[in-house]
Amino acid sequence: MTGSGTRGDAESRIRFLRGELERHNRLYYVDARPEIEDRAYDALYRELEELEKRHPDLVTSDSPTQRVGGEPLSGFSTRTHTVPMMSLGNTYSREELAQFDRRVCDRLGTDRAVYVVEPKIDGVSLSVRYEAGVLVRALTRGDGKTGDDVTANIRTIRSVPLRLSGARPPAVFEARGEVFMTREGFARLNDRRREAGEEPFANARNATAGSIKQLDPKIVAQRPLEVLFYAAGEVAGLDIRSQQQLLKTFREFGLRTHARVWVTSSFDEMWQAVEALDAMRPTLPYDTDGAVIKLDDYARRETVGWTAKAPSWAMAYKYEAETAFTRLTAITVQVGRTGTLTPVAELEPVALAGSTISRATLHNEDEIRRKDIRVGDLVEIKKAGEVIPAVVSVRQESRPASAQPFDMERFLGGQCPECHGPIARDPQFVAWRCENPQCPAQSVRRIRYFAMREALDLQMLGEVVAEALVEKGLIREPLDLYDLTVEKLGALNLGTAESPRLFGEKNAEKLRQALEAARALPLSRWICALGIPEVGESTAYELGRAHRDLVDLAHSDLLRAMQKYYALDASRPKKKEDSAGHASATEDMEKLARKLEAKGAAKPSSAKSKSREWLLAFGPKVVEKVIAYFESPAGLAVLARLAKLGLAPRGDGQASGDAPLAGKTVVLTGTLAGTTRDEATDLIRAAGGSVASTVSKQTDFVVAGENAGSKLDKARELGVPVLDEKAFLARVSGEKKVTKTEPREGWLF
């Protein structure tokens, strides 16, 4: 079609292509309902370019190909606004807004007026002049009377039509609006700048203002600028009588407007609109800082009038500033409840949204690097809802020369600031965390570990409960749970002071029972519950099989032999003497393995070399962490505490599996003739069982003595076996053995 056509063909094709490109531009930018893909648009564009290259005399300034043209300017010329660009009165208070409405109504002699409420974008205001529908000039606001001629730059913005749509454009139409960048466009621009080694802009407004003042339109064309229109300057050949009509006209001309405005006819409605807009702000793709309230009717505007600077018929209501700039005086590091090390900005106190802020979160080290935040910087802080404020950006231009990039590891000297334990970077996340499970800052994490299904399976003890327990100061360590009374637990408030939500006695009782039942759990579950680093469920299981109890594990000969072996293993290739040492370490381990097996510990299967199998079960990290744990003050304290609480879980596959009541839950009721309640409880525990106070389906059997009451009834109702004293004593002494442990694949018993 473009190849051999006549000039006439080319001319009509050019007209068609320009019309199509304009139409698609409008569908995309104004109506937000594009009909074609970018690629198809580009194809039309290239075809037009081709044709115009071949017929240069057919090129006109309003052709879509002529957006970026000409050489860089040497400066901007100033021009006078035909109608001055005024500013707006503004307020932060509802009361002042109500006064504004009353003033307007008073002047109009009515008690109600119709207003249009629009979002207020914080960008750069602009006046774009169309003559006979063609864009002829674009001026910045300047001082309101004269502005800079930025026509070449504004032409590069695709949401600004070079020609108004519609068959009969007015002789003169000055559209006024705001140039801005969306948050996304701004972020992409700054990313590009950083990649290119250029300094990023402090905020979208600065980036916009800087872009408009660029002398080279080719650079402007690469900036993600957009324009929305909301007011008119000079208009000739068109009668516009209200703001609503103006907005409608804008859209008909293909000039973009706000997607949502409110038309209100009472102060209550106006205020509702202001609040609705406030709620909507986070969902808008660009930053807004207020609402602009304008009297709708133009004739009425004349009645209300103007001051020297601003119209009296309009007002900007500004939302409480969400961000503020202040100096970052230091970075400190906080240890979170799960051991996460969170950098915190210490700030020169600054007022923000009604409070004085002196600290803000920096999230994590990556975030600090990404935003390049340094001590001494002027930083922008932002409050989002009720969460603590965050540092959102840095004013790089006001950075002291001595400011250094932040390095978490160097800053902390590789230690947790709370317990001086080792720190590590979580490979899955960007956070550094304290590796020491006994770090006092990590109570909640330890308690959660303790309650996990793989550990003691305390189902009532979820994250929320664990946090509340620690926050209210009821417990610090998991074993503190055994000291809590049902009353205290039941009164635990999981909600807030204003809307309390109690844990409740019923739940408290269930947790109590679960804690009692946990006494009978095998050693491996308890090892798991301690939350030793590197020790997950399966490692805990192997450790539990290889040891009699926690004391045995704490002094484990096996683990120490393995530690020796690993130490030599690491240095093996280097020295001859070491290989002798190595042989002896292996021998030690084999001896130990045999000894352990002779004592009845679980042994590895089909072992050519027994020591090899042990090595497979516990790697060097596990060995190191377990030994370190039981040598640490915290580990020793846990052992002492367990002994005091009478908690002595037995090694898996050994005594506990053979114990007559292993894993059984027993309820005592009534009076036994020859055994006190305490003695019976001890007997049950010694036999590996646990005592519960209420009968449920989980109860394995009930021991009923004289005068047994409701518990006996309940047992019968649920079909739970009931034993008398004689049968009970026979059972605990092991006359009827219960074997709990099932063999695991790959292991011989």
Options 191-199, 311-319, 436-444, 631-639: segment touching ligand IVH (CB under 6 A) = 311-319
Q: Least Å distance between CB 82 and ligand IVH?
A: 14
Q: Least Å distance between CB 77 and ligand IVH?
A: 22
Should residue 86 be labelled a site residue for ligand IVH when binding is judged by CB under 6 A?
A: yes
Nearer to ligand IVH, 230 or 267 (CB): 230
Options 84-92, 148-156, 241-249, 628-636: segment touching ligand IVH (CB under 6 A) = 84-92
Rounded Cα gap, residues 168 and 344, in angstroms: 61
User: In this structure, are residues 703 and 669 in contact, taking their beta carbons and an 8 Å threshold?
Assistant: yes
Q: Output the six-digit token pair for 150.
A: 């930025």
Rounded Cα gap, residues 187 and 266, in angstroms: 40
**Residue 151 phi, psi dihedral angles, 5° rounding:** -50, -50
Rounded Cα gap, residues 396 and 371, in angstroms: 10
One-letter amino acid at 291 equals A
DSSP 123-158: SEEEEEEEETTEEEEEEE-TTSSEEEB-HHHHTT-T
Q: 3-state DSSP: the chain helix, strand, coil percent, rounded to 5?
A: 40, 20, 40
Binds ligand IVH (CB under 6 A): choice among 128, 292, 484, 692: 292
Options 119-127, 273-281, 617-625, 691-699: segment touching ligand IVH (CB under 6 A) = 119-127
Q: Is 121 helix (H, G, I), strand (E, B) or coil?
A: strand
Cα→Cα distances 343→268, 411, 576, Å: 44, 11, 49
Should residue 181 be labelled a site residue for ligand IVH when binding is judged by CB under 6 A?
A: no
Confirm whether 120 is a catalytic residue: yes
Binds ligand IVH (CB under 6 A): choice among 160, 314, 423, 732: 314
DSSP 74-107: SSPPEEE-SS------EES-HHHHHHHHHHHHHH
Q: Least Å distance between CB 58 and ligand IVH?
A: 38
Q: Least Å distance between CB 245 and ligand IVH?
A: 16
Q: Least Å distance between CB 85 and ligand IVH?
A: 7
Q: Output the six-digit token pair for 527.
A: 């090892």
Binds ligand IVH (CB under 6 A): choice among 169, 233, 311, 490: 311
Q: Is 297 helix (H, G, I), strand (E, B) or coil?
A: strand
Should residue 530 be labelled a site residue for ligand IVH when binding is judged by CB under 6 A?
A: no
Nearer to ligand IVH, 69 or 144 (CB): 144
Rounded Cα gap, residues 656 and 451, in angstroms: 21
Residue 237, Cβ neighbours under 10 Å: how many?
11
Nearer to ligand IVH, 125 or 443 (CB): 125
Should residue 178 be labelled a site residue for ligand IVH when binding is judged by CB under 6 A?
A: yes
Should residue 125 be labelled a site residue for ligand IVH when binding is judged by CB under 6 A?
A: yes
Nearer to ligand IVH, 260 or 575 (CB): 260
Should residue 394 be labelled a site residue for ligand IVH when binding is judged by CB under 6 A?
A: no
Q: Least Å distance between CB 86 and ligand IVH?
A: 4
Binds ligand IVH (CB under 6 A): choice among 88, 221, 403, 567: 88
Binds ligand IVH (CB under 6 A): choice among 24, 26, 67, 120: 120
Nearer to ligand IVH, 301 or 564 (CB): 301
Spell out the alpha helix ranges (H) of 287-328.
298-304
Should residue 118 be labelled a site residue for ligand IVH when binding is judged by CB under 6 A?
A: yes
**Residue carrying structure tokens 């995309």:** 28
Number of residues that bind ligand IVH (CB under 6 A): 14
User: In this structure, are residues 180 and 226 in contact, taking their beta carbons and an 8 Å threshold?
Assistant: yes
Q: Least Å distance between CB 219 and ligand IVH?
A: 23
**Residue carrying structure tokens 């019923």:** 506
Query: Restricting to residues 210-249, which ones interact with ligand IVH according to CB under 6 A?
Result: 230-231
Active-site entry in 120, 371, 510, 711: 120
Nearer to ligand IVH, 243 or 436 (CB): 243
Options 308-316, 329-337, 444-452, 677-685: segment touching ligand IVH (CB under 6 A) = 308-316
Rounded Cα gap, residues 502 and 491, in angstroms: 6
End-to-end Cα spacing for the chain? 86
Residue 82, Cβ neighbours under 10 Å: how many?
13
Should residue 80 be labelled a site residue for ligand IVH when binding is judged by CB under 6 A?
A: no
Should residue 451 be labelled a site residue for ligand IVH when binding is judged by CB under 6 A?
A: no
Please give the residue ranges that form the binding site for ligand IVH (CB under 6 A). 86-88, 118, 120-121, 125, 178, 230-231, 292, 311, 314, 316
Catalytic residues: 120
